[in-house]
Structure 1
């Protein structure tokens, strides 16, 4: 038990350190980037120097960069992500208004692609070096190689413009609250393509490696059929690396959602971040990046815990008593 607490204590500590590094790097990059934040607020409208000076003082733009950095880190520790210079709203409120939309896309994508990659990866491994394996493997490589933003544009062109079956952008009809199912289909398909392709290849390789182990030969010597060997003994062990891939997939989905939401006009955190970058709304960019980073770190910690629960080797290692060096 003590070794488990030490392990996860180190994991949480390294995650917090990584979060601080991400905040520091992003803060410096945004501060050093060219552009005037007040220009995003004022646009081309004429403004007196007194008004500009008052707005700069209100948002702390006149303070030295090190002072702004320390102030921002202190605010983040209290849960305050600052105020949007464009919307004049707390960044936390802006993110919370978009967070659910992004999570709906990510969770739906993972819920559909995960069982599919298990199934097709196992089938490809079972039919190794045959036409079905070549078809699944070749299709996975092709899907993984296609840029998701280009695939999104092609889906819009075919299903929305040419056929008129599905809406091209948005999450619901204009003025209607919530999310309509038909608006989710194209962005979810686009996100599934890349996620499914990569993890299917990993599942295939993991299954092939599991089927080459000695315990598989033992199972076959007991008279079990090839399908029984695959589903009873091969897949349970092949799924262990997939636990890690699912955790890492959270980061991939969140990163990919930035482009997907921009292409489909989906009102999530990705679109919010793109608009904030265009407007040089640094507080919003930092806030979205922090929320995404925290989500990824939490997913990695949960993945580590899950892996420790399903892998008997890790359970045995953690159950050993910690020996004193004396």
Structure 2
């Protein structure tokens, strides 16, 4: 069997195992968490013991934990995430109604942070030990250290409350559907800032290493212009670590959208998750975290595939036949 198939087979198997572990841990944690899911289902209205027992039997809450776990695990692999307590919608329907709003934040933030990180990191490496490099590096450290929720509230105070330029909450004006551009600006900037700073630091280190290679000295000795050496020869190799970093950051953006969505009242999966936690709606909590886990695992697999394509060392290794020990 070719090494590339062995590699990706192991990657898929480990991802599947990790997925099962995540489901197991979350299921058990929610089982021992305080709160009564039945009470969150029926609300604060007084009900008879017979009605309460009927609700427990309907949702299978009277079954042993191990039985409910295996039933739920089987349902997950068939796409059934259960029903939301207190809602006539399934968990999958609730998530699908919110996931596009979350992606509307995560994807622009990912593009902005990646493009900005590559550009600023390359400029900092080109101007190493000069004032521009120091400014970019100091700014990257500062913005990476700022918590998202604090930056979001600061932007709301400045651009919404004081200047009145941008809205503070939601994704569109009251009574309108869809996503308005002006509602995207502040949350996207908030989500992208720390990732942009981190990627700029990684890109700077990678480009400095790339600029110190022998082939760069050879290109310069041939009389090639500095900009061509920088962008044509050094940049492609300097981008290799960014493939991995950027792939992981997209998953982190989805997971980190919880805080940003709460600050800006953005109706995405993060806000759905927080509301479900407050209402002890375990089915929704499990469903949202499972969906985020699936997206992160898919992104990680695609990142590994892309890295194998762009890195010539991996292409060479995969192209070689597997050696036999005999």
Aligned to 1:198: 198
**Aligned residue number for residue 258 of structure 2:** 258
Which residue in 2 is equivalent to 1:281? 281
Q: 1:11-49 CA distances to partner (integer Å, 9 max, x unpaired)?
A: 111000000000011111111101111222233211111
Q: Partner of 1:320 in structure 2?
A: 320
1:43-71 per-residue CA deviation (whole Å, 9 max, x = no partner) reads: 32111111111111111111111111111
Tell me how far apart the structure 2 counterparts of residues 32 and 302 of structure 1 sit (CA, whole Å).
35
Partner Cα distance (2:167, 2:40) in 1: 31
The C-alpha deviation readout for 1:172-218, integer Å capped at 9, x for no partner, is: 11221111111111100101111111111110111011111122222
Match of residue 301 from structure 1: 301
1:57 aligns with 2:74: no
Deviations 1:138-169 (A, max 9, x none): 11111110000111111111111111111100
- Residue 220 of structure 1 and its aligned partner are, at CA, apart by 1.8
What is the Cα deviation at residue 227 of structure 1?
2.3
Structure-to-structure mapping, 1:218-229, within 5 angstroms: 218-229=218-229
Gaps in structure 1 of 5+ consecutive residues: none
Q: Corresponding residue for 2:15?
A: 15
The TM-score with structure 2 as length reference comes to 0.97
The equivalent residue for 2:134 is 134
Q: Which moved more, 1:211-220 or 1:185-194?
A: 211-220
* Matches of 2:99 and 2:308, distance apart in 1: 29
Match of 1:30 in 2: 30
**Which has the larger displacement, 155-164 or 265-274?**
155-164
Partners of 2:206 and 2:172 in 1: CA distance: 41
How far has the Cα of 1:226 moved from its partner? 2.8
Return the alpha-carbon distance in structure 2 between the equivalents of residues 173 and 60 of structure 1: 41
- Structure 2 gaps of 5+ residues are none
**How far apart are residue 228 of structure 1 and its match?**
2.3
Cα separation, 1, equivalents of 2:129 and 2:87: 57
State the partner residue of 2:249: 249
Q: Which position in structure 1 is the counterpart of 2:80?
A: 80
Inter-partner Cα distance in structure 2 for 1:225 and 1:208: 18
State how far apart, in whole Å, the 2-side matches of 1:82 and 1:137 are: 48
Correspondence 1:62-141 to 2 at 5 A: 62-141=62-141
Cα deviations across residues 222-264 of structure 1 (Å, max 9, x unaligned)?
2223322211211110000000011101121012101101111
SS of aligned partner of 1:168: coil
Instruction: Tell me the equivalent position of 1:46.
Output: 46
Q: What is the count of residue pairs matched by the alignment?
A: 326
Where 1:29 maps in the other structure, the secondary structure is: helix
- Structure 2 SS opposite 1:174: coil
Which position in structure 1 is the counterpart of 2:236?
236
Measure how far apart 1:324 and its partner are.
2.6
Q: Secondary structure at the match of 1:250?
A: helix
- Give the whole-Å Cα distance in 1 for the aligned partners of 2:238 and 2:51: 64
CA distance in structure 2 between the partners assigned to 1:13 and 1:86 by the alignment: 37
